[in-house]
Amino acid sequence: MVEILEFKNFQGVYQINENGQRTLATVNLTPGKKVYDETLIKFKNEELRTWNPFRSKLAAAILNGLEELPIREGSSILYLGAASGTTCSHISDIVGGRGRLYCVEFSPRAIRDLITVCEERKNMLPILADARFPDRYSPLCGLVDLIYCDIAQPDQSKILVDNAALYLKPSGKIMIAIKARSIDVTKPPAEIFKNEIEFLEKKGFKIIQKIKLEPYTADHIFLYGALKTSI
Ligand SMILES: C[S@@+](CC[C@H](N)C(=O)[O-])C[C@H]1O[C@@H](n2cnc3c(N)ncnc32)[C@H](O)[C@@H]1O
């Protein structure tokens, strides 16, 4: 038996319970169309797309206890490391037609698939660029409510800070998925995570919540934060 419920007070996010398994879903902005291998489910007058926590760290963070979702209808978001658009497509569902999602990706292979997704989803803008040089996309990107960073680079916290300096609204939020092994394979993950948190705090951010992503993704921590001046 399949049970579908609204997920907490997270606008546009649903929880699907089936045979003791729990997954998430968003309302499909482009009914009838899939982005990856998700399932489409009719629900009331809408169509839901299942959101796989093994493919999306944001879905894993939500299922593992994220307390607040700073993504709502009409939000504007800068997404660093968009890849082929899996997680971006669910954010695009949530922010809807009035929202805006700037999708930065530097791999030409990944951006080809991303462009196909963006052609269908008018609230997503693909940006082929290296997130290390945020000033290079200033003609394309505006001020945003959230910067989401998932680029698996050793200096990704610095990249996030540099992008925030240009594009984050004073009241804006940050989310970053940190993969311990991308930073240093020789150090224990707990030490790496502590260093990254200290770096972000020194740069003026307050970490609101830290979430482990097991069993969906190993050796990662997901940080949710805001500028200290906004809290
Ligand atoms: C872990 S994958 C992202 C997965 C994606 N966030 C999702 O959930 O669907 C990391 C992506 O970041 C991209 N990336 C890494 N370094 C980058 C940089 N400096 N600038 C832009 N993209 C980068 C990689 O090409 C890769 O596609």
- Atom 13 of ligand 1, nearest CA residue: 81
Using the predicted structure, report yes or no on whether residue 231 has a pLDDT greater than 80: no
Nearest to 222 by CA among 183, 180, 167: 180
Residue 79 Cα to ligand 1 middle (Å): 9
Q: 4-25, pLDDT tens digit by residue? A: 999 999 999 999 998 888 899 9
Using the predicted structure, report yes or no on whether residue 26 has a pLDDT greater than 70: yes
Q: Which two tokens stand for residue 163?
A: 């992008």
CB of residue 153 inside a 6 A radius of ligand 1: yes
Of the residues 107, 146, 178, 183, which should be mutated to test ligand 1's pocket, given the most ligand atoms within 8 Å of the CB?
107
Q: Where are the domains of the chain?
A: 2-51, 60-230
Buried b (16+ CB within 10 A) or exposed e, 141-150: beebbbbbbb
Q: List strand residue ranges (DSSP E) for 116-191, in order.
A: 124-128, 144-149, 168-179
pLDDT for the residue numbered 98: 98
Rg of the chain, C-alpha, whole Å:
17
Place of tokens 């398994």: 21
Of the residues 105, 135, 179, which should be mutated to test ligand 1's pocket, given the most ligand atoms within 8 Å of the CB?
105
Q: 146-158, pLDDT tens digit by residue? A: 999 999 999 999 9
Q: What is the CATH number of domain 2-51?
A: 3.30.200.20
Q: 178-219, pLDDT tens digit by residue? A: 998 888 888 888 999 999 999 999 999 999 999 999 999 999
Q: Are 56 and 13 in contact (CB under 8 A)?
A: no
Evaluate whether the domain defined by 60-230 bears CATH number 3.30.420.40: no
pLDDT for the residue numbered 95: 98
Do 2-51 and 60-230 fold alike per CATH?
no
Higher pLDDT, 164 or 190: 164
Residue 82 Cα to ligand 1 middle (Å): 6
| Rounded (10°) CA dihedral 46, 68, 105, 201 | 180
Give the total residue count for the chain.
Answer: 231
Question: pTM for the full model?
Answer: 0.97
Q: 60-112, pLDDT tens digit by residue? A: 999 999 999 999 999 999 999 999 999 999 999 999 999 999 999 999 999 99
How far apart, in whole angstroms, are the C-alpha atoms of residue 186 and residue 169? Answer: 37
Nearest to 150 by CA among 74, 219, 222, 227: 222
CB of residue 160 inside a 6 A radius of ligand 1: no
Q: How many Å separate Cα 62 from the centre of its chain? A: 11
Partners of 4 in the β-ladder: 16
pLDDT for the residue numbered 151: 96
Using the predicted structure, report yes or no on whether residue 169 has a pLDDT greater than 80: yes
